[in-house]
Amino acid sequence: MRVLYTGSFDPITVGHLDIIRRISCKFDEVVVTVFNNKEKKYWFSIEERCEMVRGAVKDLKNVQVDFTEGLVVDYCEKNDINIIVRGLRAVSDYEYELAISSINKHLNKKLETLFLVASPEFSFLSSSMVKDVAEHGGPFEDLVPENVSENIYRILGRK
């Protein structure tokens, strides 16, 4: 069975990677798709984000990385995917994700969303938090996969 795990991944964090690793053990194929949200300002281009995700998952043989713009339901329909996996850190995530799941289900009755609770050690972590810590000179290296740190340093013009 093929599932979709989607996000903007600006940048991918060890929390995202934990979810990807966990679902890669449960499903035959995981498609990690980098989406652009027009309301967000990105540090990295969609191509850079895809490369960082590819580098982070290179050891997971049943994980592929793709990107697209537009509706998740359209991507799923075009790629024969009927399950979306979303990670939840807190109740506030659930409220947001429930709304997204509901509109996706309205648009495609065959599409299911499965929620996976973040591992406790990553329940505080977000890409925005990583960027905030990095911008203020704090130690962020353990919050992102190893291949991502150098890209953050490049964006910040350091190291």
Q: Which of 2, 22, 89, 105 is catalytic?
A: 89
User: Measured between alpha carbons, how far is 39 from 41 in angstroms, rounded to an integer?
Assistant: 7
Q: And the tokens for 107?
A: 């648009």
The residue from 40, 58, 78, 110 that is catalytic is 40
Tell me the three state secondary structure of residue 76.
helix
Sign for the CA dihedral angle at 78, 83, 85, 91 comes to positive
Both tokens assigned to 111: 């599409």
Encoded tokens for 148? 């991502």
Query: Which residue in 49, 86, 101, 127 is the catalytic one?
Result: 127
Q: Tell me, yes or no, if 40 is annotated catalytic.
A: yes
Instruction: Tell me if residue 105 is catalytic.
Output: no
Is 154 known to be catalytic? no
Given the residues 16, 24, 49, 101, select the one marked as catalytic: 16
The structure tokens 């850079």 sit at 48
- The yes-or-no answer on residue 78 being catalytic is no
Residue positions annotated with a catalytic role: 16, 40, 89, 127
